[in-house]
Every structure is written in structure tokens, then in C-alpha cells.
Structure 1
Amino acid sequence: MNLFDLVVLLSVVVVCLLFWRFRAIAETANQHLNDYCERQNLQLLSIARIKTRIGSYRGKLDFHSEFSFEFSGNGEDSYQGVLTMVGLKTLDLYTPAYRIQ
């Protein structure tokens, strides 16, 4: 095994670990939004990651992610909210004023 093979192997491992971490963050966001919408009697329509960057929060280096989601309060209108996360922890959940029933 030469140096090139080692670099390629390490690159593949890093890419796999990043993919695994991003999936865990996306699944946690999905679960959190499903729970939130169920508690508030809302219909969750879609979720999309807006951006992800690396940064520190309280001395810990982790990924800062923002998710945009659409929801409906009465089944006819749709509204857009934003979920902000650091790692697997939710920092902020913004929903605009919405019409119910």
C-alpha cells in the first residue's frame, strides 16, 4: 500500500462519515418537525435543507444546519418556517402567523 492508496482510502472514509452525519442531522430535523406539527395540529408538507456549515457552538465544533419546511394549518394554505440546528440539537424554530381551521 503506497501513500496514494492511503489518501484515497482516508478520503472515502471521510466522505462516508460526513454522509452518515448529514443523514443523522436530517432525520433528527424530520422527527423534530413531525413532532412539532403533531403537537400544534399542523400538516407538515415538505422539508428541505437550506444550508450547512461548520462552526463552533459553546466550544464544540459541529455542523450548523438550516432547514426550510412548509406546513398548513387548515389544509388549504401553506406557510414556510425555518428550523435551525447545531449538530443534533435544535436551536430555533420559526413559524410565521398562520390561519387555522
Structure 2
Amino acid sequence: MIGDLLAILALCFACFLFWQQRRQSEIAKSHILRKCDQLELQLLSVSFAGHKWKTSDHRWLWHTVYLFEFSALGDDCYQGKLEMRGFMPIRFNLPPHRMV
């Protein structure tokens, strides 16, 4: 009886975590799209890179990393990185790229 209740609670918690991860992914994609529009870049793809404990500036902080590919002129491809804490972007990292 108690085992069934714990199993149901564990399933509900797993579904909640999945739902929050999907929500964060959609928010990250909208931030990346907005940044690419501001810089007049073409967004090619967005992918989840994983959860990490240590940020790129060596601070201990639980965050999520998203990688994205973009094009500046249409015939090139660059890879950028977005670090998010919760639903807020912490840092964009865009490599040097050609300008229009």
C-alpha cells in the first residue's frame, strides 16, 4: 500500500521534472532566437548539452547548457552556447563570425 503510493509520487515527480525541462528548453530557444534576431543571424539548430555544476567562469552553480548553430551569411556555420539557471539566461557565448 505505502509502496504503491511512493511509486505514484515518484512517477509524478519524474513527470514534473520532464515538464519543467521541456519548458526550460522552449524558453532557451526563444532567448536564442531573440539574440540571433538582434545580431541579424540565422538560427540553424538548438540542442540540449546537459546539466553542469561548474560555470564557464569557474563558479559552482547548477545550470543547464544549450548549444546552437547559426549562420552569418548563409554559407557558413558557427556554434554558440547558452547557459541558463532555471528559466533565466546567465551567459551567451558567441564565437567571432563574419558580419554582413
Gaps of 5+ in 2: 55-60
What amino acid maps onto 2:11 in structure 1?
A: V
Q: Name the structure 2 match of 1:37.
A: 36
Q: Secondary structure of the equivalent of 2:99?
A: coil
User: 2:52, 2:65 within 8 Å by CA — same for their partners in 1?
Assistant: no
Residue 53 of structure 1 deviates from its aligned partner by 4.5
Q: Name the structure 2 match of 1:94.
A: 93
Decide whether aligned partners of structure 1 residues 63 and 27 sit closer, same or farther in structure 2, where only a CA change above 3 A counts.
Answer: farther
- TM-score, with structure 1 as normaliser: 0.86
Q: Name the structure 2 match of 1:14.
A: 13
Runs of 4+ with deviation above 3 angstroms: none
What amino acid maps onto 1:67 in structure 2?
A: Y
> What is the correspondence of 1:77-92 to structure 2 with a 5 Å cutoff?
77-92=76-91
> How far apart are the structure 2 equivalents of 1:35 and 1:63?
24
Gaps of 5+ in 1: 56-61
> How far apart are the structure 2 equivalents of 1:92 and 1:53?
14
Matched, 1:68 2:67: yes
What is the aligned residue count?
94
- TM-score, with structure 2 as normaliser: 0.87
What percentage of aligned pairs have identical amino acids? Answer: 34
What amino acid maps onto 1:45 in structure 2?
A: L
Residue 100 of structure 1 deviates from its aligned partner by 2.4
RMSD value, Cα: 1.7
> How far apart are the structure 1 equivalents of 2:8 and 2:62?
23
